Structure 1
Amino acid sequence: MASGIQVNPQVVETFNQLKIKHDISYAIFSLSDDLTEIVVQEVSANGDYDEFISKLPTDKCRYAVLDFKYTLNDGGQRDKIVFFAWTPDTASIKDKMLFASSKDALKKQLNGIHTEIQATDLDEVEYEEVYNKVSSGGTK
């Protein structure tokens, strides 16, 4: 990993629990206090989308995974795993650089991501924006 930051095994375990058991609605990951690894910051078993968005800090970078549930035009229900790279404009340059340099290594360990959202402000994570990206097939 270019940044030297490791992925704590609990991050992968949490992601797999979300993906396989579907008993987690979202998980937010941050850097450890000593900036040596990506760790689980928060997990929610039944949080909705608005709650998830409210947990993203306005001045700190975060990674997150969300079991995004939505309804198709024909009434069918779907859910897709969305990976968020949250780097708000007000975060420090150091924070942004650490998150940018460790993102790809993290994603390689999280097999099953349907869509990635890179966002710097709340407009980019509005439900409709994410829905449009997820329902159009996502990005790898």
Structure 2
Amino acid sequence: MASGVGVNPECLSAFETLKLGKKLKFIVFTLNSDNTEIIVHKTSDSPDYDEFLAELPERECRWAVYDFEYEKGEGKRNKICFYSWSPDDAKVKQKMLLASSKDALRRSLVGIATEVQGTDFSEVAYESVLDKVSRR
């Protein structure tokens, strides 16, 4: 179900910076004020996962990309994760827009290893995502 929402070019350039340059740790995306385009809401180079989670509002939908680092076997691994954040307390219209616009953003971000869908913070907790990325 396509919503006709476009993806701002800044979304792609921020993602390329995260993916290739390793200068960013996470990107949070949102819709612009008239719901016609997906835009970058925030970027950060902070490796603090709790700081990333603090950018996911309790009552608003967001998409995000996080460069997830974890220990496995002999060393550190990284997986780029795509998050669809649709909290239970968000407005129904916003949830529908998030769901229908997700594919436009997701298809434009080449190099995602894992997708994470969250409706509450337990689903995006570090341990939950670690379990998901380490299975692959």
Same fold (TM over 0.5): yes
Q: Sequence identity of aligned pairs in percent?
A: 50
In the other structure, the counterpart of 2:115 is 116
For 1:47 and 1:91, how far apart are their aligned partners in 2?
27
Q: How far has the Cα of 1:75 moved from its partner?
A: 3.7
Tell me the alpha carbon deviations over residues 50-94 of structure 1, each in whole angstroms, 9 at most, x when there is no partner.
11011100000000000000011x341101100000000000000
For 2:119 and 2:50, how far apart are their aligned partners in 1?
17
In the other structure, the counterpart of 1:58 is 58
Q: How far has the Cα of 1:46 moved from its partner?
A: 2.0
Q: Secondary structure at the match of 2:3?
A: coil
In the other structure, the counterpart of 2:15 is 15
Q: Which residue identity lines up with residue 79 of structure 1 in the other structure?
A: N
In the other structure, the counterpart of 2:106 is 107
TM-score (norm. length: structure 2): 0.97
- The correspondence of residues 80-91 of structure 1 with structure 2, limited to 5 A, is 80-91=79-90
Structure 1, unaligned runs of 5 or more: none
Structure 2, unaligned runs of 5 or more: none
Q: When the two structures are aligned, how many residues end up with a matched partner?
A: 136
Q: Secondary structure at the match of 2:28?
A: strand
TM-score (norm. length: structure 1): 0.94
For 1:93 and 1:47, how far apart are their aligned partners in 2?
32
